[in-house]
Structure 1
Amino acid sequence: MKKFFAYLLCLVIASVTSASSLFAQSSKKNKKPLVVFVTGDHEYSSEETMPLIAAALEKDYGMKTIVLKASPDYNSEENIPGLEALEKADLAVFFLRWRRLPPGQLAYIDAYLKSGKPVMGFRTTTHAFHFPEGHASEKWNAFGEFALNAPPGWGGAAKHTHYGHESSTDVSIIPEQAANPILTGVAGNFHVRSWLYRVLPDYPVKGSTWLLMGKAVNPDKEAIENPVAWTGTNTFGGRVFMTTMGHPEDFTQEPFQRLVINAVHYELGLKIPQKWKGKINIQVPYRVAK
């Protein structure tokens, strides 16, 4: 009799364990991924473009989003409230330019990076931080390199520069990457307003996968073609997607919108949407750089 009850007890425990496991798997499967956008730039209106991308991700692609903004306005270089949201983020998207955040806020970004979770960056995030020489947080000036496989800040030995504000960029898919899932539905050739950033010869860092090449149109100096979007793995083992595009007018272009939505899915390890939900209405002004 004791053996019988012991057998029944084992069956009950096995049943409960199995049910709990199935419930956990189901909950995980049904959990909406959280994408946290961290914005703060003087020039590209990221605090306006990123919320529109975030809204599309929520409405059409079943995600949860949080958009953080510099305070009291985009010109505030020392305060982005709410960075504790990164503790629960599945993906962090950065569009920053020359910030000088306090150690307490940097600590949330540091912890996120060290978790090995995916990181996505736009344009001026190559020079996200701008601490003075000798400052305790000076190492953050190289955020572009250690987080996004991009040049470590603006200018300097990396020769990270651009080809003039009056220029724009013709973009084309690198032939070897034509079948890359991130480029699903992205036109083979398109034009953006962003003036081309020079990242070569040393960046993107070795091991990165170049997706799109840019050619300067009406450059102010002799120009070479440069990659404008790439993927890879960063210093912390996190998956990376970086693009040097990001002018507000770029976001009006359907190929660029498609690229961004695809990249978010890629970063999260989700299947790239085969069906495009339609062009996003993004009409945001450009501001002359501070």
Structure 2
Amino acid sequence: MKKLNVCMISGSFEYDSRKSLKIFQKYLAENYPLIETELIIYQDEDDNPSLRILESTDVIMIFTRRIRISGKNLERLQKYCQTGKPIVGIRTASHAYENWLDFDTHVLGGSYQGHFGHGPISQVEIVESQMGHSILEGISNFEAFGSLYKNPSNAADTTTLMTAKTNQGHCQPVTWIRERQVGENVSRVFYTSLGHQDDFHITSFLQMLANAIFWTTRQ
């Protein structure tokens, strides 16, 4: 495996994404020393740190919620996505940037329509037909925390890897991938609607994110 540069972007304050991504940074450092990480942290929704690093990173991991960037940094993000580079999205990435809400449908292939009530634990299960996928290597079914997101009509070119079901009977896709032609490149995108603080203490969840980095970068 060659060295990989991962740019993590934190700005989901409800889910304490800064702390959660630091947990994942530690997991990568302990298990995959050839992965180097850079953590960009939004201090509030109007913060606007430079995204120049997107010009040289191998993959971005987005965990933000309704950040109101504009101008040059929004252009950098859009250019990164529009050239078909690897993307990993976590939970509120479905509504990551207030000035680019189409990111969910156009890039992730999602269809975020809010969430079911807070409280119930979800039973996360691998889709049987996808059990051999590399993102699911070393992963077992697990219980996830946080409300279950509604994504009723994802893009036709997405492939669901995992679903989750609450004890009230609600069932939704919670992990999917997308491959699509973007110019001369075939873009690889991974998204999971999981990502509650407690999910980052589940080994299968952390391993899934690590596997997603390798899959999106074709490692």
The TM-score, its normalising length taken from structure 1, stands at 0.70
CA distance in structure 2 between the partners assigned to 1:228 and 1:63 by the alignment: 25
Match of 2:116 among 151, 156, 163: 163
Match of 1:228 among 165, 174, 178: 174
Match of 1:261 among 210, 214, 217: 210
Deviation readout 1:22-70 (Å, 9 max, x if unpaired): xxxxxxx75x211101111120111111122123323421111101000
Match of 2:76 among 83, 101, 108: 108
% identical aligned pairs: 28
RMSD of aligned residue pairs (Cα, Å): 1.7
Amino acid at match of 2:138: G
Structure 1: unaligned runs, 5 residues or longer? 1-28, 132-139, 155-159, 271-290
Q: Which has the higher contact order (CA 8 A, sep 6+)?
A: 2
Question: Displaced runs of 4+ in structure 1, greater than 6 A?
Answer: none
Structure with greater helix percent = 1
Structure 2: unaligned runs, 5 residues or longer? none
Q: Which has the larger radius of gyration?
A: 1
**Conserved 8 A contact 2:64-2:92:** yes
CA distance in structure 2 between the partners assigned to 1:235 and 1:48 by the alignment: 34
1:143 is aligned to 2:92: no
Structure with greater strand percent = 2
**Conserved 8 A contact 1:168-1:192:** yes
Alignment correspondent of 1:215: 165
Match of 2:54 among 77, 86, 90: 86
- Count of residues in correspondence between the two structures: 215
CA distance in structure 2 between the partners assigned to 1:80 and 1:191 by the alignment: 35
Q: How does 1:174-185 map to 2 (within 5 A)?
A: 174-185=127-138
**Conserved 8 A contact 2:5-2:36:** yes
Q: How does 1:1-290 map to 2 (within 5 A)?
A: 32-61=3-32, 62-70=34-42, 73=43, 76-131=44-99, 140-151=100-111, 160-187=113-140, 189-200=141-152, 202-203=153-154, 205-217=155-167, 219=168, 223-234=169-180, 236=182, 237-270=186-219
CA distance in structure 2 between the partners assigned to 1:235 and 1:89 by the alignment: 20
